[in-house]
Chain A
Amino acid sequence: MSEKRIDVKKTYKMYIGGGFPRSESGRTYKVYDSDKNLVADACQGSRKDFREAVKVARSAFSGWSGRSAYNRGQILYRIAEMMENRRDQFMQELGPIGFKTSEAEADINAAIDRLIYYAGWTDKYQQVFGSINPVASAHFNFSMLEPTGVVTAFAPENSPLLGLVSVIAPIISGGNTCVILASEAHPLPAISFAEVLNSSDVPGGVVNILTGSRKELAEHFSSHMDVNALCYTDELPKEIKTLIDENASLNVKRVIKRPVNDWYGENAQSPYFLTDFQETKTTWHPVGF
């Protein structure tokens, strides 16, 4: 008696504090492939999920920013290694949402290469962008870069894997921790990427990935008083842009808008994406006997 095997479908949850919880709200929304077939019920993250994510991101900050630049580079490289290993999984997720095989491969390749690009910057940006300042007095004076803290970001809507990785990598390579909202229409590669993160020595809480509605969460991403910066790369509707900017003024958040149309292009990676999330700290000390 032969029986057809029923494949085991994956349940997609969010990624908060190194764990994979469902939304506390119990809400989900339907995710479809390009042929309008239902592929998953994704969690619809709530304000409370977001607050939890900020809390764990804050508590992960001192540990992550305190790692040596070399160690952070090693960990970013390790993410790339783990991702290389899971190409098939990403192929399965990118295919149904309209990526041809060659396009999906290119996307995965570029995402892996992007991680390696920023892995290489972790121990170099300080040397390029820090400075020793020749002040006109008997002082030794130097400026170094330090991560700004907890960053929230909207991953690009139309580049669910490469775009997501390209937004996360510069934030964490510089020692920040983050809460990311995945592409609303195509959230699945983001959760698979969370599995990659989870298996690659990134401490829990450093990257937190929510799925859900950008329109609903924009309010909270921008108004939370323990968030230091917010970043997006898509062109947003005017009213959301305004809402974000207005909320950011509550605690003088840095709002970083770096529009990127082509995530494969020349302008999709840059050390300036990394320095966007850095503060300059200048230290003075007298020189003498």
Chain B
Amino acid sequence: MSETETKETTYKPTSPNSKLDFASIWEYAPAPQESGFAEIKDRYDLFIDGKFVKPSKGRYFKSTNPANEEIITEFGEATKKDVDKAVKAARKAYEGEWSRISPKERGKYIYRIARMLQERAREFAVLESMDGGKPIRESRDVDIPLVAAYFFYYAGWADKLEYAFPGKKPEPLGVCGQIIPWNFPLLMLAWKIAPALACGNTVVLKPAETTSLTALKFAELVKDAGLPDGVVNIITGAGQTGAEIVNHPGIDKIAFTGSTNVGKIIQKSLAGTDKKYTLELGGKGALVIFEDAPIDQAVEGIINAIYFNQGHVCCAGSRLLVQEGVADKVITKLKDRLETLIVGDPLDKNTDIGAINSKEQFETVNKYLELGVEEGADIYQSKCKIPENGYFIRPTLFTNVSQSNRIVQEEIFGPVLTVQTFRTADEGIEKANNTPYGLANGVWTDKGSKIFKVGNGMRSGVIWANTYNKFDPTSPFGGYKESGVGREGGMHGLAAYTKI
């Protein structure tokens, strides 16, 4: 405390816009989250039929902490034989014990999982931040509480399913193959496993290869919760393992969250089969800011929309559309606000923006930064300090972009915002709709009637009005157009796991 008080610091703006240069002028005392209590084994095997088993080919791959590039642990690489074993275990469990348990009792297992997650919330949050690079504030306050909430919510549906489908007696589908991305590892696991189990299915889940840690921790928890063997199977591996799941004839349904490109490949490889599928794919969300919007709140909304989770959010608001009259004001305030963001150690409680999830993604985002400049856009990055090691990118915005620029059309999946203007509401709506995606959009205005008009006009599965990036288990989520098929969350999310 005294150290920072006595230190003489003269205010030196690092950019013409940085009136509030918290990040490099104000020295925040480090506030690290203690992490020693979270146990990480040297090696994790596959979780099949209630047991941890070695991968059949004996191959393992390493997992890196993206904030310091240190190896955390290693995971087994599941090959065809392992996938087959997991599917068989899931089938046996589906036809055996799991289908004989009454829905009410089935629900209790899921409640139990929710409670155990709450008990161990801090441990999961720490591991999620270490493995994936997201700020502890987000894993602690957003990811893990939501994970527990999703299990808690769907647990209660187990014995009430006929109320979700008027006139029908819903039946489970069988064995569900589930493939999840690296941006919200445990949350996506919850989105997949909780409704699947509630509807009476069994699952084989593959987490992303860069973020498998919390899924394997979850496997331990499944054991602790006493779930019958084979109901939940978790196998690790990369794209090839995922393909083995997708193509396995013993699977009744595929649930995938990830990029639109991979989603298309999956949809294609399911061609001609009767497997059901849901796809939660990419997005290029637009934020439509009207002149009558409360500008300070809107700026905060923009920050939350694009810089939350390092921009690794499929529904991120990555295209800012500002009504012309307030464009300068919004951009100035936005640049000011950018300067206050702290990029750094994910386990530090001060950190706003953590590490880019992997080296590969770090390179992808950097390529887009170069591309934006090549396309003639004006780049602005905050001037904050960033750690020397690890994969960090300063929050970035591009102005002077046009609708046809690749940085405007393509999903970047990083802390990169493009800024455009519009004059009329119709133009704003049209620009917002002008991508193949349709996952989420935002609208800021003080006028309720305008919210409804603009919200109705935007073709996307989620509309955040005067807010952004909010999630809740009771609230359906999913895309229009090339952003996917089906919904997750809420009552609508049950449809993906039942025959009706």
Contacts and interface: CB of A to CB of B under 8 A. Distances in A.
Interface of A: 128, 131, 133-137, 139, 141, 143, 148, 228, 238, 241-246, 248-252, 254, 270-272, 279-286
Please list the 8 inter-chain residue pairs (A to B) with the smallest Cβ-Cβ separation, ordered nearest first: A245-B271, A242-B272, A249-B267, A135-B472, A249-B268, A133-B474, A246-B271, A283-B463
Interface in B166-210: 166-168
A248 B467 contact: no
Nearest to A128: B166
A178 B112 CA distance: 47
B480 A279 contact: yes
Contact of B470 (A241, A246, A284): A284
B310 interface: no
B470 A135 contact: yes
A280 B492 CA distance: 8
B491 to A, nearest CB: 6
B485 A136 contact: no
A286 B301 CA distance: 12
A272 B166 CA distance: 10
A189 B500 CA distance: 31
Given A133-B474, A135-B472, A280 B487 contact: yes
A133 B472 contact: yes
A280 B272 contact: no
A252 B487 CA distance: 14
A137 B145 CA distance: 13
Q: How large is the interface on B (under 10, 10 to 19, 20 to 34, 35 or more residues)?
A: 35 or more
B465 interface: yes
Contacts of A271: 166-167
A282 B462 contact: yes
A131 B492 contact: yes
A148 B478 CA distance: 13
B342 interface: no
B317 interface: no
B463 A245 contact: no
B346 to A, nearest CB: 24
Contacts of B451: 285
Interface in B213-235: none
Contact of A283 (B465, B481, B483, B500): B465
Interface in B442-500: 451, 455, 460-467, 470, 472, 474-478, 480-485, 487, 490-492, 500
Contacts of A128: 166
A129 to B, nearest CB: 8
A255 to B, nearest CB: 9
A279 B260 contact: no
Contacts of B478: 280
B481 A251 contact: yes
Contacts of A272: 168, 500
A141 B474 CA distance: 9
Contacts of B492: 131, 143, 280
Given A136-B472, A137-B472, A238-B272, A284 B464 contact: yes
A220 B379 CA distance: 42
B149 interface: yes
B281 interface: yes
11 contacts: A131-B491, A131-B492, A133-B474, A238-B272, A245-B271, A271-B167, A272-B500, A282-B462, A283-B464, A284-B470, A286-B467
B490 A133 contact: yes
A271 B167 CA distance: 10
A143 B476 contact: yes
Contacts of A249: 264-265, 267-268, 271
Contacts of A246: 268, 271-272
A252 B279 contact: yes
